[in-house]
Chain A
């Protein structure tokens, strides 16, 4: 590793860190991008759906770049609500998702992160893999570098903590305490290999196109969370994530929970004949707005999962990390021009995040998880009510329809119209 000092040390070669590194290196800053894995992506797990616009703002028209590590552009998004033996699916499919800036792509993170990190190197950042950062170095009251697990020290004007959901760096910098089990979700996933033709037939896709689906209801056993199923080129990504405190209370291993999801008749049919290529598990920081650490201090910035920047109901995270990484990078460029890396100077980062969609979106959903969690059985009761009503609607059982209607009214009345309205009201935040 080079002995000379850097303008910026970026810890973590994921969406936030790589984005920051690209922006800063392009502006001529001397940037070290440190990754503890043997290669970028070695430690990274995501569903994964990547929304395009935020990456397009960093790498214009990235989907046309040779070697861009993308799986399928998503042409259809679906939601499925389940009981044990019934389910309702509703989806939206639009060819507009493929035009202009395609809305989103499925990606395989290990491939994507290696490709994306290579773009940072092309921009001039120095990428060092296999480097675990153990400590921050402080000098004159500010953070002025890092110390690795090998004992090497590296100095810089600013350190960017982009080290993911379990940000030990932000903890060591004193910005954040240990997260609590109610502030994180634990996700388990399998990549399931399947012939592309079978994928396209089963999901009614044209060759090369993809779909993304989230599954709510009985599949999470009353826990706060959801399952997902995304189509890759030659595989499916099937996962489930629930609040860690819920797994703790149930004493349930997420890998075993995933087995239950796989056996749901709807899912079972879609993955049948597939071969599990890889299992993974990862934390998702879902404490959100209320759990965010301070985003800057003297010589220090935090971006992406490390700063709890996710929007779970919209399954956004990697795109937010890219925006935050870019804005952190732009803040450092301005700080270098001023020769001032103090907290006051770096506070511009927070203003930039406020002016973007990032903080406003996170603020809007800050109470949603608590609201859903405060209604016991929310994620079981409403899918069941919806399926029961659908069952009446679609059954010709010799019973007069007016009696079906009375039964339907009774189902709703049993729960209470006012209670239903009150329970569902918080969902307005994610309706559009």
Chain B
């Protein structure tokens, strides 16, 4: 029942207003990233893909896997709670790394 919304400013454009201090180390990973992972085998709705406010998670149908763009992350932590299969590990980035809000 996804509502069809007209989007004047895409999430990509919104993310364009932000700055990050890029971390060399990913702070997000999938417990199981294999083709047998629940993301491919079981998860129909993929709420990480549809809800993440920074579009960190993208489903690649050709490779049947979730791609994690951890550099986009704005560190809300919703993904861990959203994942129906507890397959997302999301800790904080290394000290000083990650999103740098100017207004907040």
B-contacting 9-mer, from A108-116, A296-304, A399-407, A409-417: A108-116
Tell me, in angstroms, the Cα distance from A249 to B96 when the chains sit together: 34
A100 within 8 A of B: no
A-B contact pairs, 10 of them (CB 8 A): A44-B104, A109-B103, A110-B102, A113-B104, A148-B95, A149-B94, A221-B3, A244-B51, A259-B7, A282-B76
Main SS of the interface on chain A? mixed
Q: Tell me if B75 counts as interface (CB < 8 A to partner A).
A: yes
Across the two chains, which residue of chain B brings its CB closest to A190? B14
Question: With A256-B7, A276-B9 as given contacts, are A186 and B76 in contact (CB-CB < 8 Å)?
Answer: yes
A132 near B94 with CB under 8 A, answer yes
B11 surroundings in chain A (CB, below 8 A): 253, 255-256
| B62 on the A face (CB < 8 A) | no
- The answer on a CB contact under 8 Å between B82 and A278 is no
With contact pairs A248-B51, A262-B8 given, residues A41 and B101 touching in the complex (Cβ less than 8 Å) = yes
In residues 145-169 of chain A, which contact B (Cβ within 8 Å)? 148-150, 165-166, 168
Find chain A residues with CB under 8 A from B2 CB. 250-252
Q: Beyond the given A36-B96, A181-B81, A276-B9, could you list 8 further A-B residue pairs with CB under 8 A, ordered by the A residue number?
A: A39-B100, A42-B104, A108-B103, A110-B104, A132-B96, A180-B81, A278-B101, A281-B74
Most chain A beta-carbon contacts within 10 A, residue among B11, B82, B95, B104: B104
Which of A46, A149, A276, A283 is within 8 Å of B92, CB to CB? Answer: A149
Partner-B contacts on A (CB < 8 A) = 36-39, 41-46, 108-111, 113, 129-132, 134, 148-150, 165-166, 168, 178-181, 184, 186, 188, 190-191, 221, 235, 244, 247-257, 259-260, 262-263, 276-283
In the complex, are the beta carbons of A38 and B101 less than 8 A apart? no
Contacts of A257 in B (CB 8 A): 5
Query: Which of the residues B17, B45, B77, B93 comes within 8 Å of A278, measured between beta carbons?
Result: B17
A131: chain B residues at CB < 8 Å are: 95-96
* Complex contact B102–A278 (CB within 8 A): yes
Contact A244 B104, CB 8 Å, known A251-B2, A256-B7: no
Known contacts A259-B5, A279-B17; decide if A254 and B101 are in contact (CB<8 Å). no
Cβ of B68 under 8 Å from chain A:
no
Alpha-carbon distance between A262 and B13 when the two chains are bound, in angstroms: 15
Whether, in the assembled complex, B1 has its beta carbon less than 8 Å from a beta carbon of chain A, the answer is: yes
Evaluate whether A186 and B103 lie within 8 angstroms (CB atoms) in the complex, with A253-B11, A276-B9 already known: no
The reply to whether A38 and B21 form a contact with Cβ atoms under 8 Å apart is: yes
Cα of A148 to Cα of B94 in the assembled complex, Å: 9
Residue of A nearest to B49 (CB): A251
Chain A hits for B34, CB < 8 A: none
Look across to chain A and name the residue whose beta carbon is closest to the beta carbon of B48: A248
- Determine the residue in chain A with the shortest Cβ distance to B96: A130
Contact B82 A181 (CB under 8 A): yes
Please pick, from A43, A250, A263, the residue contacting B8 in the complex, using a CB distance under 8 A: A263
Beyond A253-B11, A279-B18, is A248–B82 a contact (Cβ under 8 Å)? yes
Given contacts A113-B104, A248-B47, A252-B3, contact A283 B78 (CB under 8 A): yes
A280 touches B101 (CB 8 A): yes
- Most chain B CB atoms below 10 A, which of A46, A253, A257: A253
Q: How far is the CA of A184 from the CA of B51 in the complex (A)?
A: 14
Q: How far is the CA of A280 from the CA of B102 in the complex (A)?
A: 10
Q: How far is the CB of B50 from chain A (nearest CB, A)?
A: 4
Known: A129-B96, A168-B91. A259 touches B8 (CB 8 A): yes
Complex contacts, A254 vs chain B, CB 8 Å? 51, 53
Assembly CA distance A181 to B81 (angstroms): 6
Q: How far is the CA of A32 from the CA of B47 in the complex (A)?
A: 39
**Top 5 closest pairs, chain A to chain B, by CB:** A130-B96, A166-B77, A281-B53, A279-B14, A109-B104
Cβ of B63 < 8 Å from any Cβ of A? no
Complex CA distance for A286 and B92, rounded to whole angstroms: 21
Report the bound CA distance from A72 to B52 in whole Å. 32
**Does B36 reach chain A (CB closer than 8 Å)?**
no
